[in-house]
Amino acid sequence: MEKKVESGMSSIVKTITSVMVGFMMLFAGYFILFGDEVPGGGFPAGVMMALAYILITLAYGREFVEKRVSGITASKLTDVGVLIFLFVGFFGLYFSGTFLNNFLQNNESLFFTSGTIIINDVAVALTVGMSLYLIFLALAIFGRVVCEGSLCKDLGRDSEEEKE
Amino acid sequence: MDRILPFFVIIPVFSAVSTLLVSRWERRKFPRIWSILTVSSLLVLLYFIWDKGVLVHEMGGWKAPFGVVLVKDSLTRFMLLIINGVALITLLYSYSYILKREDYLRFFSLFLLMLAGMNGVVLTGDLFNLFIFLEIASIASYVLVGYDIGAEELEAAFKYLIMGVLASMCILIGIAIVYSVTGSVNMADVARFIETNDIVDNKAILMATGLFILGFGLKAGFVPFHAWLPDAHPSAPAPISAMLSGVLIKSLGIYPLIRIFYNVIPMSPVVSNIFIFLGSISMIVGALMGSGQIDIKRLFAFHSVSQMGYIIVGVGLGTPLGLIGALFHLLNHSVFKSLLFLSSGAIQSSTGTRNMKKLGGLRESMPVTSGSAVVGALSISGVPPFNGFWSKLIIILAAFQVKNIWAASALILTAFLTLMCFVKFQKHAIFGEASEIVKRSKEAPLPMLMSLVILGILCLAIGLFNQTIIANIITPAQEILFDKGAYIMSVLGNVGGG
Amino acid sequence: MTLYFLDFLLFMIGLYALVTKRHIVKKILGVAIMEYSVNLFLILIGFKMSGTAPIMVADMDFATFIRTAVDPLPQALVLTSIVIGLGTLALMVAIAIRLYERYGTFDMHEINRLRG
């Protein structure tokens, strides 16, 4: 068995990254869960998630990330986020008459004190986080495009979607 | 019944997102049929809510000045009919046009997102919500303009992008100024505030007026701000050119101007003069610069600028007849300009060139396409009995009615220039000797021909039945614009709807 | 009042960079500065000197809340506007990268094949 070449950065960076990513995801989760009472909400949570993934990509190299969260998965997760948001709005329409109505409003449980806002926050964080990660992949990791005339094809990478 | 209103935005977004989630084995047929089904269902929904009067839907259950409202009145249903109708015909056209490109999932999802944004712009009753939907539609159109990733398309997309972002920033500053004066961003609430406090001459409102004309005028393509239009509209693929020139510049540029300056901030003589002045310059400059073009799509794009000038002169005249003429010309221009752009796309995909000097004698090798192109050219020049003649006549009559001689003479001069330019187009491209390229080309595929024929029949039918169309569709739209009190009462007094 | 003047100065700096510089990336940075200044203008409209955050603590009176808190509505508008600006900026950078691949230069004066 031949010796595998280490890709990514040095092992000090890898160790610290693996610790910090956990905390960053925890911070993003804190924003989502308590976003209705504390300044925060969906958008900063999504940005923290995207930053966690970008940090892993920078520290461990692209092959490591491709096996776990590739560009295709990130793109599909963005769509899933938008679909969750639309379904929550649609259920609001179905239950109480207007779109995006807060049909879990006066709930006294631990997390759902503001009703459907937390589900919306999860959807927004998923969409924003995966979109930012895709932007980073598209600008830095995906390959270059070669054009003859007006037909263009992607060199190098899997020629999958570079979303926007 | 007002629960149907959010579906005009939900259904295209849902289709756009689910198109991207489809797996590999359905990639060829699924997105095209799915998107046609989506827009057809939107037209069916529009038929259901057509006669129901003013519908107000409060999103999230919050009442009118505090929450976002969706308002459907006669002007809205008119714009929804145009937007979704042209989108359906364009999707039918792109059924076979888009086959040459490798990945077209993204084309359809971006198209449907742009459609959702445009539907949202005409449905909303809240200024900041209008800005958000405007941004959704604009960003989708920036990407679609550069969809064939060639050198010139990207340059056109970059220019369009920078100028569009500038316009959006100006609109946002205008909305901020209106909020700081009136304390609300709801359109009916702002209208009531301005009317009860009688602050039309407020300097801040005047600055917001100027910023709105700058921002929305850049989106519509008036003359000091038209520089992106002749580059962006030819470089887009042909169905996107038809959508851009046919509906996007109207629903993102002209509709907010009409809505804000008739219903929210009342029309003052300053604004009216600005509109007539800008419109007259747009008409003449657009027609003059269009006569020197050789590329047929660039010629059509310049004439889009000049026809937008017609519409805004009709809006700026301020009389009911002028507004009827402007709205009717908006409908007609959507139909015949998308017909012209779709036929130019058919010509380009069959012969491979857009150069007028190299084409010639198309009527032998592509009879249906050249016939529909002739119908479109006659409509835009204002030849009876096609639809362009009636709307231009109404606007010219309205200009004579207020005794505005400069505007009337600019209108008549532009009509002559347009006629001359399109006679030149027909002589070079359609009639005359067949060149080598044309002899080897064959007729366009069937879905493209069907959409061209449908649009040609629409041109003729709207021209022949113009009285019924004006009485049933356009006059109610014009009345709701003049009756600001009714608009305010419907939105603020109507809590809960049907 | 000086805050509004400084904000306007920021907008003018961004506009200067957009109009006079020839390099594409400098133009994009000018657009970014202009977007920041517009968002800042939107927040400044709801700003009160020495005001508190618009969060109502349990023992606060409603009248004091209105008197001392800054306006929360522009902050909600600005959140959305920041994200829209982010998306547009990402699109601009992607198009600039592809323009460099096609034309071989970053100079805007040489990227003018569409003329006339």
CA distance, residue A9 to nearest chain B CA (Å): 34
Interface residue of B138, B142, B154 to substitute, partner C, most C CBs within 10 Å: B154
Nearest to A50 by CA among B229, B391, C90: C90
Nearest to C77 by CA among B142, A90, A85, B178: B178
B2 domain-assigned: no
Q: What is the pLDDT of residue B495?
A: 44
Burial C12-24 (b: 16+ CB within 10 A, else e): eebbebbeeeeeb
Q: How many domains does chain B have?
A: 1
Q: What is the pLDDT of residue C105?
A: 83
Mean pLDDT by 10 residues, chain A (164 residues): 63 89 91 77 88 89 80 84 87 69 59 72 90 86 57 47 38
Kindly state the tokens that stand for B191. 């209208």
Domain boundaries, chain A: 11-154
pLDDT digits (tens, 9 = 90+) for B360-416: 777 777 888 888 888 888 888 888 888 888 888 888 888 888 888 888 888 889 999
B235 domain-assigned: no
* Candidate from C18, C88, C114 with C-beta closest to B231: C114
What's phi and psi for B355, nearest 5 deg?
-85, 125
What's phi and psi for B66, nearest 5 deg?
-95, -30
CB-based contacts of C1: which residues, under 8 Å, 6+ apart? none
Quick check: B141 pLDDT over 90? yes
Would you say B440 and B402 are in contact if contact means Cβ atoms under 8 Å apart?
no
C-alpha distances in Å from residue B360, one per residue of B299, B437, B444, B474, C87: 16, 9, 16, 39, 44
Quick check: B346 pLDDT over 90? no
Chain C partners of A41 at a C-beta cutoff of 8 Å?
79
Kindly state the tokens that stand for B489. 């009462």
Pick the residue from chain C with its C-alpha nearest to A37. C55
* Candidate from C82, C90, C98 with C-beta closest to A164: C90
> Picking from B49-53, B337-341, C6-10, which range would have the lowest pLDDT averaged per residue?
B49-53
- Which domain covers residue B447, as residue numbers? 270-464
- Give the span between the Cα atoms of B397 and B145, in whole angstroms: 37
* Chains touching C by CB (3 or more pairs below 8 Å): A, B
Question: Region B38-47: what's the mean pLDDT?
Answer: 88
Q: How large is the C-alpha radius of gyration of chain A?
A: 20
Chain A partners of B148 at a C-beta cutoff of 8 Å?
150, 152
From the number of C-beta atoms within 10 Å of its C-beta (0-12, 13-18, 19+), residue C50 rates as: exposed
Low-confidence ranges of chain C (pLDDT < 50): none
Chain C partners of A131 at a C-beta cutoff of 8 Å?
87
Query: Average pLDDT of chain B?
Result: 85
Chain C partners of B185 at a C-beta cutoff of 8 Å?
73, 77
Kindly state the tokens that stand for C55. 């969060």
C-alpha distances in Å from residue C18, one per residue of A27, C23, C35, C100, C101: 37, 9, 12, 18, 22
Q: Which of residues 243-302 of B touch C (CB under 8 A)?
A: 292-293
* Candidate from B59, B143, B149 with C-beta closest to A99: B59
ipTM of the complex: 0.93
Residue B233 or residue A116, greater confidence: B233
Question: Region B295-301: what's the mean pLDDT?
Answer: 89
Tell whether C114 lies on the interface with B, counting CB pairs under 8 A. Answer: yes
Chain C partners of B128 at a C-beta cutoff of 8 Å?
77
Kindly state the tokens that stand for A8. 């990514």
- Give the span between the Cα atoms of B329 and B397, in whole angstroms: 14
Would you say B126 and B187 are in contact if contact means Cβ atoms under 8 Å apart?
yes
B296 domain-assigned: yes
pLDDT digits (tens, 9 = 90+) for B208-221: 999 999 999 999 88
Kindly state the tokens that stand for B123. 């449905």
The vertex-A45 CA angle with A42 and A49, nearest 5°, equals 135
Quick check: B451 pLDDT over 50? yes
What's phi and psi for A102, nearest 5 deg?
-90, 80
- How many Cα atoms are found within 13 Å in the side-chain-facing hemisphere of B317? 31
Chain C partners of B146 at a C-beta cutoff of 8 Å?
95
Domains assigned to chain C? 2-110 (1.10.287.3510)
First-to-last CA distance in chain B? 5
Pick the residue from chain C with its C-alpha nearest to B150. C102
